[in-house]
Chains A and B, each alone.
Chain A
Amino acid sequence: MKHIAIRKIVQGLAVAALAVAGAEVFLQLIVSPTIEHARWYTGDIHTPDDKYEFVFTPDYSGWMRHFDNVFLEKLTLDPHGFRQPAKHPDSKQAVLLLGGYSMTFSYGLSDEQALPRAIGDALTIPSSIYTASWPGFDTYRMFHVYKDLLEAEIDPRIAVILFWEETLADFADLPRTFDEFAYSGSEAPDLFRYFEHSAIAPPKGRAQLLLGQWYYKSMLAHKLGNELNWLDGRMTRALRRLGVSISSEQAPVASRAPDEEQGAERFRAWTDYLTEYFGGTDRVLFVFLPRKAQAFIGDRYDRAISLLPPGAHHLDLNRSLGERIPFKGGYLAQGHYSAGSALLIGTTIAQEIDSMQGADKRSSMNVEGGSADRPDAGEAPPCCSP
Chain B
Amino acid sequence: MIFTSSTFLIFFACFYSLYLLLQRLPSVRPQNVVLLVASNVFYGAWDVRFLGLLWFSALIDFFVAQRIEDTTDRRVKRRWLTFSITTQLLLLGTFKYLNFGIESAVALLEALGFEAHYHTLNIILPVGISFYTFQTIAYTIDVYRGKVKPCRDPLDFSLYVGFFPQLVAGPIETPGHLLPQLVRKRVIDQASIRIGIYWILIGFFKKVVIADTLAPLVQHTFDNHDSISGVSSLIGIVAFSLQIYGDFAGYTFIARGIAKLMGIDLAVNFRRPYLATSPRDFWRRWHISLSNWLRDYLYISLGGSRRGPSRTYINLLLTMFLGGLWHGAAWNFAVWGIYHGTLLCIDHFLDQHGVRLRLLPTTYERANHVLRVAGMYVLTLGGWLLFRVTSMEQAGDILHNIVFNFHIDPGTIVLAVPVITLGCLLFGFHIAQERSENDLLALSWPSMARAGVYAFICVTIVTVGLKPIPFIYFQF
Q: Which of A15-23, A245-253, A271-279 contacts B (4 or more CB under 8 A)?
A: A15-23
Asked if B375 is at the interface of the complex by the 8 Å CB criterion, the answer is no
| Cα–Cα distance between A63 and B414 once the two chains are bound (Å) | 10
Chain A's closest residue to B461 (CB) is A23
Asked if B455 is at the interface of the complex by the 8 Å CB criterion, the answer is yes
Chain A nearest Cβ from B452, distance in angstroms: 4
Q: Please provide the chain B residues from 440 to 474 with a CB less than 8 Å away from any CB of chain A in the complex.
A: 448-449, 451-453, 455-456, 459-460, 462-465
Contacts A11-B448, A23-B456 known; A223 to B463 CB distance under 8 Å? Answer: yes
Asked if A27 is at the interface of the complex by the 8 Å CB criterion, the answer is yes
Chain A's closest residue to B216 (CB) is A71
Instruction: Select one of B213, B459, B465 contacting A30, CB under 8 A.
Output: B213
CB-based contact B414/A23 at 8 Å: no
Chain B nearest Cβ from A70, distance in angstroms: 9
Q: Which of B19-27, B136-144, B416-424, B430-438 contacts A (4 or more CB under 8 A)?
A: B416-424
CB-based contact B414/A15 at 8 Å: no
Q: Please provide the chain A residues from 51 to 71 with a CB less than 8 Å away from any CB of chain B in the complex.
A: 61, 63, 67, 71
**0 or 1 for each of A31-60: is its CB under 8 Å from B? (1 = yes):** 110110000001000000000000000000
Q: How large is the interface on B (under 10, 10 to 19, 20 to 34, 35 or more residues)?
A: 20 to 34
Asked if A219 is at the interface of the complex by the 8 Å CB criterion, the answer is yes
Chain A nearest Cβ from B291, distance in angstroms: 31
Chain A nearest Cβ from B209, distance in angstroms: 7
Q: Which residues of B contact A230 (CB under 8 A)?
A: none
**0 or 1 for each of A198-210: is its CB under 8 Å from B? (1 = yes):** 0000000000000
Asked if B219 is at the interface of the complex by the 8 Å CB criterion, the answer is yes
| Cα–Cα distance between A279 and B410 once the two chains are bound (Å) | 44
Asked if A214 is at the interface of the complex by the 8 Å CB criterion, the answer is no
Chain A nearest Cβ from B239, distance in angstroms: 11
CB-based contact A15/B463 at 8 Å: no
| Cα–Cα distance between A15 and B452 once the two chains are bound (Å) | 5
Asked if B411 is at the interface of the complex by the 8 Å CB criterion, the answer is yes
Asked if A220 is at the interface of the complex by the 8 Å CB criterion, the answer is yes
Chain B nearest Cβ from A312, distance in angstroms: 42
| Cα–Cα distance between A22 and B421 once the two chains are bound (Å) | 12
| Cα–Cα distance between A22 and B449 once the two chains are bound (Å) | 13
Contacts A23-B456, A71-B216, A72-B411 known; A30 to B451 CB distance under 8 Å? Answer: no
Asked if A26 is at the interface of the complex by the 8 Å CB criterion, the answer is yes
Q: Which residues of B contact A223 (CB under 8 A)?
A: 462-463, 465
Q: Which residues of A contact B459 (CB under 8 A)?
A: 19-20, 23, 220
CB-based contact B421/A26 at 8 Å: yes
Asked if A29 is at the interface of the complex by the 8 Å CB criterion, the answer is yes
Contacts A30-B209, A30-B418 known; A23 to B460 CB distance under 8 Å? Answer: yes
Q: Which residues of A contact B451 (CB under 8 A)?
A: 12, 15-16
| Cα–Cα distance between A16 and B454 once the two chains are bound (Å) | 10
Chain B nearest Cβ from A11, distance in angstroms: 6
Contacts A26-B421, A71-B217 known; A15 to B460 CB distance under 8 Å? Answer: no
Asked if B194 is at the interface of the complex by the 8 Å CB criterion, the answer is no
Q: Which residues of B contact A11 (CB under 8 A)?
A: 448
Q: Which residues of A contact B209 (CB under 8 A)?
A: 30
Asked if B220 is at the interface of the complex by the 8 Å CB criterion, the answer is yes
| Cα–Cα distance between A22 and B459 once the two chains are bound (Å) | 10
CB-based contact A63/B411 at 8 Å: yes
Chain A's closest residue to B425 (CB) is A26
Q: Which residues of B contact A30 (CB under 8 A)?
A: 209, 213, 417-418, 421-422
Contacts A15-B452, A18-B452, A72-B411 known; A23 to B418 CB distance under 8 Å? Answer: no
| Cα–Cα distance between A71 and B449 once the two chains are bound (Å) | 36
| Cα–Cα distance between A22 and B415 once the two chains are bound (Å) | 21
Instruction: Select one of B414, B425, B463 contacting A42, CB under 8 A.
Output: B414
Chain A's closest residue to B218 (CB) is A71
Q: Which residues of A contact B417 (CB under 8 A)?
A: 29-30, 32
Instruction: Select one of A29, A71, A219 contacting B219, CB under 8 A.
Output: A71
- From B448, B451, B453, B456, name the one whose CB has the most chain A CB atoms within 10 angstroms: B456
Chain A's closest residue to B422 (CB) is A30
- From A18, A26, A74, name the one whose CB has the most chain B CB atoms within 10 angstroms: A26
| Cα–Cα distance between A355 and B215 once the two chains are bound (Å) | 45
CB-based contact B414/A35 at 8 Å: yes
Q: Which residues of B contact A67 (CB under 8 A)?
A: 216
Instruction: Select one of B421, B452, B465 contacting A19, CB under 8 A.
Output: B452
| Cα–Cα distance between A79 and B463 once the two chains are bound (Å) | 38
Chain A nearest Cβ from B415, distance in angstroms: 8
Q: Which residues of B contact A12 (CB under 8 A)?
A: 448, 451
CB-based contact A27/B460 at 8 Å: yes
Chain A nearest Cβ from B245, distance in angstroms: 15
- Extra contacts, 14 of them, besides A22-B456, A32-B417 (Cβ < 8 A), are A12-B451, A15-B449, A16-B452, A16-B455, A23-B455, A26-B460, A30-B213, A31-B213, A32-B418, A71-B216, A71-B217, A71-B219, A223-B462, A223-B465
- Listed A/B pairs (10) with beta-carbon separation below 8 Å: A11-B448, A16-B451, A29-B417, A30-B417, A30-B418, A30-B421, A35-B414, A67-B216, A71-B220, A72-B220
Chain B interface residues toward A at CB < 8 A: 209, 213, 216-217, 219-220, 227, 410-411, 414-415, 417-418, 421-422, 425, 448-449, 451-453, 455-456, 459-460, 462-465
Chain A interface residues toward B at CB < 8 A: 11-12, 15-16, 18-20, 22-23, 26-27, 29-32, 34-35, 42, 61, 63, 67, 71-72, 74, 219-220, 223
Give me the 5 closest cross-chain CB pairs, A-B, nearest first.
A19-B455, A71-B216, A23-B459, A30-B418, A29-B421
